[in-house]
Amino acid sequence: MDLGTRPTVLVIDDDTANLRVFQRAFRKHYAILTASTGAEAFALIREAPVIDVALVDFVMPDLEAAVVLAELRRLRPEVARYLLTGYGELVETKRLETEGLCRAVLSKPWDRGTIEAAVEAAMPAPAMQRHGG
């Protein structure tokens, strides 16, 4: 994959160990932005030149996932938004998906294949594929 065309993935999670594991697992495939606080998340949402995909942890001490997802949708509607949670069956997580705040709810702990599939689904098809070539 051409490094200049790597998808940019924003990961918002208060667990910095999770952020480090994500960076190690995907740094060769994606340009990765991370935020462990609400202030960091909102700064990146406003200032990052490109964000293709956002993975937002459902449970964070200083902000609600719904607020982050709504702000992403308002400021950067082109960003594919996913909710990361260990509580996938909760009514609230399903509501966020139903209301269009996120594309899907992805389970934690995450697995590599699920993350790769989500990012791939969010990216536009290459021009050759779009044009049948």
Cross-strand pairs, 55:
11, 82
Overall number of domains in the chain: 1
Give the tens place of pLDDT for each residue, 87-101.
767 888 888 999 999
- CA-based Rg of the chain, rounded to a whole angstrom? 14
Strand bridging mode 59-60 / 63-64: antiparallel
Query: What pLDDT shows up at residue 88?
Result: 65
- Range 82-90 average pLDDT: 84
pLDDT-above-70 percentage for the chain: 89
Question: What are the DSSP E strand ranges found in the chain?
Answer: 8-12, 31-35, 53-57, 59-60, 63-64, 80-85, 104-107
Which CATH number does the domain housing residue 72 bear?
3.40.50.2300
Query: What pLDDT shows up at residue 5?
Result: 81
Cβ atoms of residues 38 and 63 within 8 Å = yes
Give the tens place of pLDDT for each residue, 25-76.
999 999 999 999 989 999 999 999 999 999 999 988 888 999 999 999 999 9
Q: Check pLDDT > 80 for residue 126.
A: no
Query: What pLDDT shows up at residue 86?
Result: 85
Residue 74 domain boundaries:
3-130
